[in-house]
Amino acid sequence: MNSISETYRPADLCEVHLTDTFWSKYTDLVREVVLPYQWKVLNDQEPGAPESHAVRNFRIAAGLESGEFYGEVFQDSDLAKWIEAASYTLAARKDEELESLIEEVIGLIEAAQQENGYLDTYFTIGRQDKEWTNLYECHEMYCMGHMIEAAVAYYKATGRRRFLDIMCRCADHISDCFGPEEGKMRGYPGHQELELALARLYEATGEKKYLELSRYFLKERGKAPNYFIREWETSRQRRTFKTGELTERPDLYYDQSHCPVAEQKEAVGHAVRAVYMYSAMADVAGKTGDEELFRTCRTLWENVTARQMYITGAVGATHQGEAFTFDYDLPNETAYAETCASVGLILFAARMQRIDMDGRYADVIERVLYNTVLASIAEGGKHYFYVNPQEMWPEASEKNPDRKHIRGSRQEWFGCACCPPNIARLLASLQKYVCSTDGRTLYLHLYLSGDLDIPAGNGKYSVKVRRQSPWSGITEIRVDGVPEGKGQIALRIPGWCREWSVRINDRIQEADVQKGYLYLKGVLPEDSIRLQFDMTPGLIQADPRVRADAGKAAVQMGPFVYCLEETDNGDNLSALRIDADTAFEKQTDAGLSDEVPMIIYNGYRTEEWPEGESLYRPYERREKRAVLKAVPYFLWGNRHPGEMQIWTRI
Amino acid sequence: MNSISETYRPADLCEVHLTDTFWSKYTDLVREVVLPYQWKVLNDQEPGAPESHAVRNFRIAAGLESGEFYGEVFQDSDLAKWIEAASYTLAARKDEELESLIEEVIGLIEAAQQENGYLDTYFTIGRQDKEWTNLYECHEMYCMGHMIEAAVAYYKATGRRRFLDIMCRCADHISDCFGPEEGKMRGYPGHQELELALARLYEATGEKKYLELSRYFLKERGKAPNYFIREWETSRQRRTFKTGELTERPDLYYDQSHCPVAEQKEAVGHAVRAVYMYSAMADVAGKTGDEELFRTCRTLWENVTARQMYITGAVGATHQGEAFTFDYDLPNETAYAETCASVGLILFAARMQRIDMDGRYADVIERVLYNTVLASIAEGGKHYFYVNPQEMWPEASEKNPDRKHIRGSRQEWFGCACCPPNIARLLASLQKYVCSTDGRTLYLHLYLSGDLDIPAGNGKYSVKVRRQSPWSGITEIRVDGVPEGKGQIALRIPGWCREWSVRINDRIQEADVQKGYLYLKGVLPEDSIRLQFDMTPGLIQADPRVRADAGKAAVQMGPFVYCLEETDNGDNLSALRIDADTAFEKQTDAGLSDEVPMIIYNGYRTEEWPEGESLYRPYERREKRAVLKAVPYFLWGNRHPGEMQIWTRI
């Protein structure tokens, strides 16, 4: 492998002005509905929502109010993610009211910060003697990490340094406490997040020590003797502060400290922790040129995306520990598939793409965005899935405790409210995932409509991308300017796309696809590129080692995975079988929002048995013809509650 | 419905002398291996087995030794079940050594019994002030129930009354404490068992008050306001004595006290509790002529066997609460399917059969015996399944916590050792399930080889039943005597049997089958009956509402459900598909024990994808022909550890 580096710079938020009607519905939702709503929740001003207390915790820590800490040990991170998302919307569009709201919160954060830079309200409110004593469970570095990400986002959006300086002081304090040097603690975060935040802080400030600290945390993790075990052994009688229960012996697989990070080959344990860590690993590998670490990232990327990822881009097969299980174990009925884990997978993909320009990273980003991310947020924007069902049988969720975590309707907010603000910050920063450049070539990943002004070399690319909708398959790209008179544009050909055509100024262009990108050389200003992807719906199968999907197929159109719902197909979806020779018909007037096409195809339904038949009887295939009607997975559960299934027998 | 009663008396143990070579292997095992082994375990004399302490608890309670109680709150029941099983073997064959051993234990039990008749070592050892204060969790009536069953079994085997008298005193004490009368507690058992034991005590003694007490417990259960909730509310700060943890609010579905028993229509909650209760309900219905209660039994029977029973006769779909879930929810991968629950289902079936002569009861008994019961005990007799896997993927059991309760190899003994002694007492009393009589007709249910001497009317049936093996399908019945010169024999035609023939003295006999029985009128002494069942293997399907089995079939031959094992078919059994037009070949020299035939048939195997293929790709059916080799489910896991599956795609 050649020496590695972060060759491909993703667009800054301010370099991309999105005009995509499909996505702006969601990004507008974030700005107009989600952020104001979340702000109310964080301030306990939303009637009906469970108590958050997040802002009050800061007021108490700042001495502005008296009271007790309330919430999860990671309650601070809800506020941090909100500031991060709000900052992204500021980068896209100035909003003085929002800005002054954030300034006010920053003042609160500053007041809650301790003299030495420490910032975590859970400990500051009455538990200062316990700081850093339970890294395994207590999330203080996780919260500080999210706050650092928020500070970087706010700094990049506004140019104001105050919050950044606050969080630099916090990072400096962490650096004073942890590290390989004599007298420092050799610990690392129980929930990875700070590692990637420090890499962003390094990017924003140029201060190498933040990158070094991130690198230290990653290199130290999982070394023997294990820090968390020592922590647990030396304070065995200590209890988790919140519940008053005895701390259990740490599960090292759970937080990926079972062996040194560089030796990990399979994704295990808590899925969000895992993908956040892999993201930080890619950051550090790219920024330090660490080839070994990058090889590990590649191995883990392959493991996650080629062996442990649902067709919707969801990851984490089990509810127990919200965790990865093992290769090809992707049960549909009991899937956990947490929204945050998929958001983390996008973070990981984007970092890999900085080092290695390969279409498979954007393939995964696209898969996650158009399926899991969109599905997790209700059309109204105020209801969310935390767990993303890959199959839904309402009666089973109610009556079989093994499936009780699978819910058919999105919820308002959660006791553990990690997912909604995570979706908000992702949707508010979609611009980051649209294109990159290596200074010479402009790489287009996702064909969201928008105006791109991307500095490259000594000039910049000015490009207008227009598409009708994500299911039209047609993108028009108008080149207004290229650096140094002649440019190169690389167009991603999605992994799902079997046929495509590219015309430049109405002439068909022949070009090879290399690692998922079609390279157009000699692009000139005023060039007009028309890209057409075949959007014929088709059947997809899973690797035969995925037992849960054996003998089954899913329907996909473009990046959209489709599913069957009870409301269109009757109950007992397991009785349906796809006719392998079926044609597919798109029905755009099916009454779904945004004129999303429904897909109609042929199949069979097993005939019901007469009442009174015994449960088991001699085999005889008795089916009748059936018309199957599929809707995009991301829209499921927005009409009537009922069954849903992605994989159907064939 | 006509008025009901226990019209059909099952054979007493002493009326049937079994000579069946297939079953005697197991019943000999019980006498020669299991009982001596269990005795050692109960006495903590078996190196390697976890501590039982069951006998020591009695010694301590009797004041013969000092020490603390050790074990589960229901540890006493292990000893009780052992005595019950040992007594059954005594009924079949005199054994003075065993008898004196039991006599010694009875002495111990008598010494451990309190003055007032109370008998439960968990409470007697240092917790006498807490007797009857936590019926929901503490199993004291459950243990006394098993001890009553043991006493009845010993009395019937030996005619000795001492133990029976001890347990009558105990039952009298319970009757003094509980009942509808002023001043008595209105409670009932947290784990049903005493209810059916009291019915047996009534049978053995003729004392109506025991039947009345059983009836009271059943009628009181689930009445509002709920006893367990009141118990919990009035002592909310009380803790479960064993763990020191706060008692959780009782889950009334768990122990079937969510509504009055007579109103229950679906099997819910802990499966063993449920089937034990249904058994007692049938007892009380039959003995008191309670038609309403019997209708409830019928409804519950239908619910369990036509909607919630695995093809192996196993019940209880979820590990969580070891419980029934709901209609047609029979997931294979996560099935709990506890052995004890199937033993209880046999108890229920046998009681229903006393009232209602219908072949479906014996159909279920046979299904459970030849599949779940036999599978749960290893060939050597010292290893048992507590949970009976309906599908096995070893890596999933290891790495997916949702499946960790599914084990591929039988274990020596269990921390909670309810199942092994339950199997022992069942196998030691197989005679009970072979035939019944209404005083006029002899009903043959299971065609185990044996000599039957069944009093009926003013005479008796003397009949010799001979079959080669359970898979020969041929049974010869030699009639040596009938009551009053001319008898009627009803032969059960099993539900699985599609074709059969009956010859009397070599003449083909035409006769109608009524409710699963073929009635032969005018049977004379010296008649020779030859019954032949078609044992051609065939494919079975489940009701299409069983989603887990949709598009799949199982192979069955006679009563034996077959399964595929990795050792014969390679790994990834989910990649196999049955050719629906296949023929079946029996291979009797396949090296399985007892010359059990393996079944060979045609199918397909999905071709593997080349390494490096993505996880999802366009659908294309790529299969190669495969020969499938199935073994009886009851033998699975006796060779190499590996995958197992009953249901295969078709």
Cα separations in angstroms, A2 against A5, A297, B416: 10, 15, 59
d(C-alpha B44, C-alpha B493), whole Å: 46
Whether residue A225 has a cis bond before it, omega within 30° of 0: yes
What residues pair up with B555 in beta bridges, in sequence order? B539
Q: Which of B400, B538, B539 sits opposite A325 (nearest CB)?
A: B400
Of B321, B542, B607, the CB nearest to A616: B542
Output Rg (C-alpha) for chain B, integer angstroms. Answer: 25
Residues of chain A positioned with their CB less than 8 A from the CB of B547: 393, 572, 574
Q: Quick one: average pLDDT of A334-357?
A: 97
First to last CA, chain A: 43
- Which of A246, A253, A400 best tests the B interface by mutation, with the highest count of B CBs <10 A? A400
Distance CA A427, CA A277 (A): 21
Q: Mean pLDDT, chain A, as a whole number?
A: 94
Q: Identify the pLDDT of residue A419.
A: 79
What pLDDT is attached to residue A415? 56
Q: Do B574 and A606 touch (CB under 8 A)?
A: no
Q: Tell me the per-residue pLDDT of B567-623, one tens digit each, with 9 for 90 and over.
A: 999 999 999 999 999 999 999 877 787 678 999 999 999 999 988 889 999 999 999
Choose, from B231, B322, B366, B391, the residue flagged as catalytic. B322
Closest alpha carbon within chain B to A547: B574
Kindly report which listed range (A26-30, A303-307, A447-451) carries the lowest average pLDDT score. A26-30
Question: Which of A16-20, A488-492, A579-583, B417-421 bottoms out in mean pLDDT, i.e. has the lowest?
Answer: B417-421
pLDDT-based confidence at A589, cuts 50/70/90?
A: confident
Residues of chain A contacting B575 with CB distance shorter than 8 Å: 544, 550
Give pLDDT, residue A384: 86
Count residue pairs from A and B with Cβ separation < 8 A: 163
Closest-CA distance, B494 to chain A, in angstroms, reads: 13
Encode A45-70: b = buried (16+ Cβ within 10 Å), e = exposed.
ebeebeebbbbbbbbbbbeeeeeebb
Distance CA B193, CA B81 (A): 12
Give me Rg for the CA atoms of chain A.
Answer: 25
The one-letter code for the residue type at B265 is K
Q: Which residues of B85-99 are buried (b: 16+ CB within 10 A; e: fewer)?
A: bbbbbbbbeeeeebb
Query: How large a percentage of chain A has pLDDT more than 90?
Result: 85
Residue B413 has pLDDT above 70, yes or no: no
Q: How confident is the model at residue B3 (pLDDT cuts 50, 70, 90)?
A: confident
- Comparing CB atoms, the residue among B334, B395, B609 nearest residue A544 is B609
**Closest to B298 (Cα-Cα) out of B310, B282, B309:** B282
The candidate with the shortest Cα–Cα distance to A251, out of A278, A272, A228, A219, is: A228
Yes or no, beta carbons of B538 and A619 under 8 Å apart: yes
Average pLDDT over all residues of chain B: 94
The pLDDT value recorded for residue B1 is 46
Candidate list B138, B168, B418, B435, residue with the active-site label: B418
Q: How far is B195 from chain A (nearest CA, A)?
A: 27
CB contact (8 A) between residue A616 and residue B318: no
pTM of the model: 0.94
Looking at beta carbons, which residues of chain A come within 8 Å of B306?
A: 614-615
pLDDT tens digits, one per residue of B122-170: 999 999 999 999 999 899 999 999 999 999 999 999 999 999 999 999 9
**A319 chain-B contacts, CB cut-off 8 A:** 402
Number of residues that this document lists for chain A: 650
Report CB contact under 8 Å: B318, A574: no
Q: Which of B402, B609, B649 is the mutation pick for testing A, counting most A CBs within 10 A?
A: B402
User: CA-nearest residue of chain B to A325?
Assistant: B400
Pick from A311, A547, A619: CB nearest B540: A619
B608/A539 CB distance under 8 A: no
Chain CA centroid to CA B276, Å:
10
> Diameter of chain A by CA atoms?
80
Long-range contacts of A231-234 (CB under 8 A, 24+ apart): A231/A133, A231/A134, A231/A135, A231/A136, A231/A187, A232/A136
Judged by CB atoms closer than 8 Å, whether chains meet at B609 and A550 is answered as no
- Closest-CA distance, A367 to chain B, in angstroms, reads 12
List, in sequence order, every residue forming a beta bridge with B519; answer none if it has no partner: B490
Query: Residue B170 has what pLDDT?
Result: 98
Task: Report CB contact under 8 Å: B649, A547.
Answer: no
For residues B32 and B30, give the distance between their C-alpha atoms in angstroms, rounded to a whole number: 6
**What CA–CA distance (Å, rounded) separates A545 from B573?**
10
CA distance B162 to chain A (A): 46
Record: contact B650-A619, CB cut-off 8 A: yes
Judge whether residue A238 has pLDDT over 70: no
CA atoms within 13 A on the CB side of B615: 26
Q: Percent of chain A having pLDDT more than 70?
A: 97
Per the CB < 8 A criterion, the answer to whether B648 and B540 are in contact is no
Whether the predicted interface score ipTM is above 0.85: yes
Report CB contact under 8 Å: B550, A574: yes
Closest residue in A to B553 (Cα) is A619
Q: What are phi and psi of A199, to 5 degrees?
A: -65, -35
Residue type, B290: D
Distance between B302 CA and the closest CA of chain A, angstroms: 9
* pLDDT value for A444: 98
Phi-psi label, residue A222: left if phi above 0, alpha if psi -120 to 50, beta otherwise: left
According to DSSP, the β-strands at A9-10 and A435-437 are antiparallel
DSSP annotation of A159: -
**In terms of Cα–Cα distance, which of A555, A560, A530 is closest to A645?**
A555
The DSSP 8-state label assigned to residue A637 in this structure reads T
Q: Which two tokens stand for residue A637?
A: 């559960």
Contact A619/B580, CB-based, under 8 Å? yes
Q: List chain A residues with CB under 8 Å of B320.
A: 401-402
Find the residue in B nearest to A312 (Cα). B616
pLDDT in tens, B491-505: 999 999 999 999 999
The whole-number pLDDT of residue A234 equals 83
Q: Is residue B211 classed as helix, strand or coil in its secondary structure?
A: helix
pLDDT, average across residues B508-520: 93
- B376 has a pLDDT exceeding 90: yes
CB contact under 8 A, B321 and A615: no
Q: Report the alpha-carbon distance of residue B412 to residue A158 in Å, rounded.
A: 68
Q: How many CA atoms lie within 13 A of A88 on its CB side?
A: 28
Model pLDDT for residues A119-156, shown as the tens digit of each residue: 999 999 999 999 999 999 899 999 999 999 999 999 99
Q: Tell me what the mean pLDDT of segment B277-293 comes to.
A: 98
A336: amino acid identity, one letter: Y
Chain B residues with CB-CB distance to A539 below 8 A:
618-619
Please, which residues bridge with residue A456 across strands?
A459
CA-nearest residue of chain B to A612? B306
Element (H, E) at B461: strand B459-467
Asked about B419 being catalytic, the answer comes back as no
Selected for mutation to probe chain A from B330, B560, B619, B620 (highest A CB count within 10 Å) is B619
Whether pLDDT at A593 is above 80: no
Closest CA to A114 of A123, A105, A106: A123
Which of A580, A621, A649 faces B621 most closely, judged by CB atoms?
A580
Name the least confident of A207-216, A392-401, B591-600.
B591-600
Nearest to B363 by CA among B346, B376, B347, B351: B346
Using CB atoms, which residue from B547, B580, B614 is nearest to A306?
A: B614
Taking the CA of residue B554 and the nearest CA in chain A, the distance in Å comes to 9
Rounded mean pLDDT, B193-214:
98
Q: What is the pLDDT of residue A566?
A: 98
DSSP A208-230: HHHHHHHHHHHHHTTPSSPHHHH
- Using DSSP's 3-state secondary structure scheme, residue A533 falls into strand
Q: Find the helix packing angle between B208-220 and B271-288, rounded to 10°.
A: 130
How far A555 CA sits from the closest chain B CA (Å)?
9
| Residue A273: alpha-carbon gap to chain centroid | 12
Q: Which residues of A are catalytic?
A: 322, 418
First to last CA, chain B: 42
Q: Which residues are A598's β-sheet partners? A: A587
CA A473 centroid distance within chain? 24
Q: How many Å apart are CA A387 and CA A411, to the nearest integer?
A: 10
The whole-number pLDDT of residue A569 equals: 98
pLDDT tens per residue across span A369-386: 999 999 998 887 778 899
pLDDT exceeds 90 at position B421: no
Over the stretch B236-271, which tens digit does the pLDDT of each residue have? 645 555 555 556 789 999 999 999 999 999 999 999
- In terms of CA atoms, which chain A residue is nearest residue B321? A401
3-state SS string over B483-537? HHHCEEEEEECCCCCCCEEEEECCEECCCCEECCEEEEEEECCCCEEEEEECCCC
| Buried b / exposed e along A323-349 (16+ C-beta atoms within 10 A) | bbbbbbbbbbbbbbbbbbbbbbbbbbb
| Residue B522 CB neighbours (<10 A) | 11
| Interchain contact, B547 vs A607, CB within 8 Å | no
DSSP state of B421: H
Residues from chain B contacting residue A540 (CB–CB below 8 Å):
616-619
Report chain B residues whose CB lies below 8 A from the CB of A619: 538-541, 553, 580, 650
Contacts of B645 in chain A (CB under 8 A): none
User: Residue A618 and residue B396: Cβ atoms within 8 Å?
Assistant: no
Chain A environment of B333 (Cβ under 8 Å): 331
Q: One-letter amino acid identity for B286?
A: G
